């Protein structure tokens, strides 16, 4: 695992506490990567995992969370890329909570109070779009969307460009569903989500997982599998919610 190394004095290992039982409870199999980012990022932000805290060893943490080591490593790398964790190599090393969280402009109280409502509206619009696209999308429309997914693969280090193409992909899916009213709804939802997404870090690992979900979604649309398309879209959107919950700065 390639996390940023640090040679500062090693803090004491993580102390046991009843409140940490929730932090390290098993996560669900769906969106396991994003939920792990959410769980650990939220615990760090709330101070349940204070600066300098050493996380349990990978083997122990995988057992507690009920996830594969590859999933855990993806989440730890994402949290290191966002500045929440750092690694210390060598004897006595491990993964530690950063002494300082990444600087960011705190969201307004209104955003904190209502961001989940924005995500709820997105679920209502985008799952419907996915179902209708699976029913109505022409092969050439799906080909164009697949090309956008391929373009996104080359933009994992350039979030502003990634986000522009990401919006085109989601609006394009609404266009493929052949519903002008839903295109307008999708455009509004994406505008609202852009404001939320701008509040968090955008590690390469998170963007890569998100784009893999795009590819699975479009495969279901191409097959005309409405149930699978809806399920893939739900997983994709819930994943974004978990990342927002884990990385959004406090007011």
**94 secondary structure, DSSP code:** E
Give buried/exposed letters for 201-210 (b at 16+ CB in 10 A, else e): bbbebbbebb
State the pLDDT at residue 6: 46
State the pLDDT at residue 237: 96
Judge whether 218 and 149 are in contact, CB under 8 Å: yes
Q: What are phi and psi of 94, to 5 degrees?
A: 155, -165
**57 secondary structure, DSSP code:** P
| Residues 55, 65, 75, 38, CA torsion sign | negative
Determine the Cα–Cα distance for residues 220 and 173; give it in Å rounded to an integer.
12
State the pLDDT at residue 224: 98
Residue 20, token pair as written in the block: 């940490």
State the pLDDT at residue 106: 64
pLDDT under 70: residue ranges of the chain: 1-21, 28-30, 46, 101-107, 250-251
State the pLDDT at residue 239: 93
Q: Which domains does the chain have, with CATH numbers?
A: 20-97 (1.10.10.10), 109-247 (1.20.120.530)
Per-residue pLDDT tens over the stretch 58-91: 999 999 889 999 999 989 998 988 888 988 887 7
Judge whether 187 and 172 are in contact, CB under 8 Å: no
> CB neighbours (10 Å) of residue 143?
11
Angle CA 124–246–89, to nearest 5: 145
> CB neighbours (10 Å) of residue 250?
10
Burial label for 176, CB within 10 Å (0-12, 13-18, 19+), is buried
Half-sphere exposure of 70 (CA within 13 A, CB side): 1
């Amino acid at each position: 695992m390639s996390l940023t190394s640090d040679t500062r004095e090693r803090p004491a290992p993580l102390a046991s506490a009843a409140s940490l039982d929730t932090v390290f409870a098993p996560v669900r199999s769906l969106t396991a990567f994003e939920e792990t980012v959410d769980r650990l990022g939220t615990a760090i932000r709330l101070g349940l995992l204070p600066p300098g805290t050493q996380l349990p060893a990978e083997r122990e943490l995988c057992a507690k969370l009920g996830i594969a080591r590859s999933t855990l490593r993806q989440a730890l790398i994402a949290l290191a890329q966002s500045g929440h964790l750092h690694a210390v190599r060598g004897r006595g090393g491990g993964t530690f909570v950063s002494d300082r969280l990444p600087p960011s402009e705190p969201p307004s109280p209104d955003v904190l109070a209502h961001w989940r409502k924005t995500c709820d509206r997105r679920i209502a619009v985008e799952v419907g779009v996915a179902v209708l696209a699976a029913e109505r999308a022409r092969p050439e429309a799906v080909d164009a969307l697949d090309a956008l997914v391929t373009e996104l693969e080359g933009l994992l280090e350039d979030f502003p460009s990634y986000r522009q193409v990401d919006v085109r992909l989601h609006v394009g899916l609404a266009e493929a569903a052949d519903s002008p009213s839903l295109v307008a709804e999708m455009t509004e939802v994406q505008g609202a989500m852009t404001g939320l997404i701008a509040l968090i870090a955008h590690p390469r690992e998170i963007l890569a997982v998100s784009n893999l979900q795009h590819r699975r979604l479009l495969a279901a649309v191409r097959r005309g599998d409405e149930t699978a398309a809806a399920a893939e879209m739900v997983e994709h959107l819930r994943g974004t919610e978990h990342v927002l919950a884990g990385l959004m700065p406090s007011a």
